[in-house]
Each structure stands twice: as structure tokens, then as C-alpha cells.
Amino acid sequence: MQTIKNPDRNQWAELLSRPTQTLGDIEGTVNEIFLDVSENGDAAIKKYTNKFDGVSLDSNVVTSIEIKKAIEQVPEKLQEAIRKAKANIEVFHTAQKTTKIEIETTKGVQCWQEKRPIQKVGLYIPGGTAPLFSTVLMLTVPAQIAGCKEIVLCSPPNKEGELAPEILFAAQLCGVTKIIKVGGIQAIAGLTFGTETIPQVYKIFGPGNQFVTVAKQIATKHGVAIDMPAGPSELLVFADKTANASYVASDLLSQAEHGTDSQVILVSTSESLINDVSEEVSKQLKVLPRKAIAEKAISNSKLIFIENDSLALELIDAYGPEHYIICCENEDLYIDNINNAGSVFIGDYTPESAGDYASGTNHTLPTNGFSKAYSGVNLDSFMKNMTFQKISKEGLLNIGETIELMAEAEGLQAHKNAVTIRLKDLK
């Protein structure tokens, strides 16, 4: 990891840049595949699954037989762990339910807001080097609580044309309505346009690599909503001299092993801690099964010494991390003054892994600085706010002239007339 001491503010943008390709580098490929899928449906899906995943499928729809076989392959202890994690996620997301908001804004003018579920949602579950069955829980649990009627799950198959048993177990546990063996850009295209076997959906959720992230952004041009731009994983740790270096190193490596394009950053007001963490990272890295992946990510990562808390907070906000860990004496300062972060983990005994799996919060979070404007997935992500109003005769008499004057001032005579014609009958 590169160590930087007291970087000049003018260097921050370059220092905090992510190791990702730009939209322009990928957009051409995405548009080409989108066009093919929109015109050729499942035939195009099959072609790209063969090309990118190295397998030719007779059918990309997971059958009940496959699900039954998968359940038998998942050890009972792991099944129990998944159930426990699901329960915690349910508790946290159920608590996010809100009631109808109703108010009389003026005498006779009743306005209210209610929530309705998004009826058709598509969930993207990364496969590849680490099939993320935990993401199945993070997306399907709130979708079910919200009341989504159609929950379509897409995940890339392995070389044998199968999905990880754990993904299938979690999917059936959480009530997914259809499971499709398809990944990458072609999965997002399928959910966007619909094919013979992939239902078209209204909103797409889930993290993925850079290609999936760009594909989701392109999907919005075709009338499909997305949860957020959620690409390669990233983590920023703030730690002072009181932090445990081995804990900090383990947290950095936990995100570095996600993928070669992941990024982890340590910001500290202690040079000695930075040195200790650097040594711990080297030591712990040697024994990781995913050492090669973590090493590549670590090469994109940084140890940054900042001389005071005020500057450190500014730098952290400028980065806007997906995951933000606070390990310091004055933790309240770093909690109260952070504006841009996807999810925050506080104290020596709150590893980021807890949020990834079982504490209850959602791990589908904005990356690449999008935490400055986007929230992570939550119950509201699967719902829409609808407003209603009912105006009585008295109410229209109370606000009618206001509407007429404003409509006339904007030059919208028909708007004014819609009120005037009613007021004449009331006077």
C-alpha cells in the first residue's frame, strides 16, 4: 500500500480517485449488447453467456428440481446461519415501515401520502470468484416486506451451468419468484427489455463489476429504474493511535479480497499506527486463500497520514466511502461530522463483515463517491410514495382564487378555467 503524508488539498482529487474505467470506456460494449438483446432476446442471452461465462445452456431458468438438489448440498449449520442473518435483516427492515401521512393543509383541502410496492423488481446477484448469496438476503428480504409481487433473480452460472447451492437456498428461503442463470451486461439487458424467459422489470437492484454498473446506468435510458450505481467494493477506515492495528488491517483486507478493482484506504492522525497497519497487512495477506486478488486491490489502496481531525474529516467527506469504519478515541466527532458514506461501522468490535452478513443493515451501497447523493438499499427502495388529495366545495372556495391568479400569471389559461368553471357553480 502506498503511504502518503499530509497531501496538499490540490492533490486530493487524484489521490482519492477510484481504480475504475470511465463510463466512456465501457458504454460502447454495453450499448452493443443491449441492442442485441432487445432485438434477439434469449438467443442473444445464450450467445453472451457462452462467450463470457464459458457455458452453453439449454435453458437458463432454474427448475424446482435444481433448487431441491441445491438445498440438500448446503450444510445444516450454514442453513441455520443464513436463517439467522435473514431474521436480523427482517427485523431492521421491518422497522423502517412508515404509516400514512395525512394533513388538512387548508380548511376543506385534504392531502395524504401512502406507499405502494414496486410490482416487478429484478435482483442482480454477483457470481464469479465469490458467489454472493448474502446479497440474495439483502435484496429479497426488503422486497418481500415491501410486498413486491414479482421478484426476478439473475446470477451468472459457473462452467457447469449451475448457480451456487447457497444462492438457490437463500432465494427459495426468501420467496424469489423466478431464478435465471444469466450474468453481466446481458442480465441487465434481459431485465430491461424482457425476453422469452426473462421478465421485464420496473427496477433493477444489486451490485456488480464495472460492466454491470454501467449497464444499470444505461438501463435508465430505457425506462427502467435502478437502486443506485453500485460497483467495485471500497472501504475507508479512520483510526487514531488508540486503534488496534491488527483489527484495522483485517478490515482493509476483508474488502480487498472482494476483487482486483476494489479499493481500501486508511486515514490516520498517527504515523506509528500507519506503520503498524502496513506490517499487519503484509503479514495477514500471506495466509489468505484469495491472496492474488487482495494483493492487486491493495496495490490500488493507500495509507494516508493527516495531521489533524478537521482535515481528516474533510478528506473523508471528499472521498464519500461506500463503507466507513471509525476506530478512534473521539468517535462521536467522526460520527457527527460525516456527511458522505454508505454505511458506518463504529468501534473496535464492529467489523465491516458484520454489515455484509448478519447485523441487519443492508450491504448494497453506493460506491465511487455516489454516497454524496445516494442512499444504500432500504425498505423504501422497493416502494413508491404516492400522494392523494380531496378538496371539498369549501376547500375549493378557500384556494380557488390562489390557483386562478398563479395559473394566469404563468399564462396557462386552461389551468385557470378548470378552477373558474367550478367556482361559478359554487358562488
The pTM (predicted TM-score) of the whole model is 0.93
pLDDT tens-digit series, residues 123-163: 999 986 678 899 999 999 999 999 999 999 999 999 999 99
26/225: higher pLDDT? 225
Residues with catalytic roles: 322-323
Asked if 17 and 263 count as a contact pair (C-beta separation under 8 A), the reply is no
Tell whether the model's pLDDT for residue 34 goes beyond 70. Answer: yes
Residue 255 marked ligand-binding: yes
In this prediction, residue 22 has a pLDDT band, given cuts at 50, 70 and 90, of low
Tell whether the model's pLDDT for residue 344 goes beyond 70. Answer: yes
Residue 340 marked ligand-binding: no
- What would the grid cell of residue 399 be? 384556494
Phi/psi for 235 (5° steps) reads: -145, 135
Residue 324 marked ligand-binding: no
pLDDT tens-digit series, residues 155-195: 999 999 999 999 999 999 999 999 999 999 999 999 999 99
122/261: higher pLDDT? 122
Residue 63, helix vs strand vs coil: coil
Residue 186 marked ligand-binding: yes
Tell me the H-state helices in 54-202: 64-73, 76-94, 133-146, 165-173, 184-193
H-run or E-run covering 124: strand 120-124
**How crowded is residue 317: how many other Cβ atoms within 10 Å of its Cβ?**
16
Looking at residue 259, its pLDDT comes to: 87
Residue 93 marked ligand-binding: no
Which residue carries 386562478 as its cell?
404
Looking at residue 1, its pLDDT comes to: 84
Looking at residue 23, its pLDDT comes to: 65
Q: Which of 126-135, 252-261, 264-273 has the lowest mean pLDDT?
A: 126-135
- How many whole angstroms separate alpha carbon 151 and alpha carbon 164? 19
- How many whole angstroms separate alpha carbon 198 and alpha carbon 189? 10
Looking at residue 130, its pLDDT comes to: 74
Residue 323 marked ligand-binding: yes
Residue 336, helix vs strand vs coil: helix
pLDDT tens-digit series, residues 358-398: 999 999 999 999 999 999 999 999 999 999 999 999 999 99
- What would the grid cell of residue 222 be? 430505457
pLDDT tens-digit series, residues 215-246: 999 999 999 999 998 878 999 999 999 999 99
- What would the grid cell of residue 261 be? 478493482
Q: Mean pLDDT over all residues of the chain?
A: 95
- How many whole angstroms separate alpha carbon 177 and alpha carbon 144? 11
Of the chain, the percentage scoring pLDDT greater than 70 comes to: 99
Which residue carries 487482495 as its cell?
294
Residue 127, helix vs strand vs coil: coil
Residue 356 marked ligand-binding: yes
Q: Which of 29-33, 35-39, 75-79, 226-230 has the lowest mean pLDDT?
A: 226-230
Looking at residue 21, its pLDDT comes to: 59
- Ordered by where they begin, the domains of the chain are 23-228 (3.40.50.1980), 232-363 (3.40.50.1980), 392-426 (1.20.5.1300)
Q: Which of 15-24, 254-263, 332-341 has the highest mean pLDDT?
A: 332-341
Q: Which of 46-50, 98-102, 264-268, 297-301 has the lowest mean pLDDT?
A: 297-301
Looking at residue 71, its pLDDT comes to: 95
In this prediction, residue 82 has a pLDDT band, given cuts at 50, 70 and 90, of very high
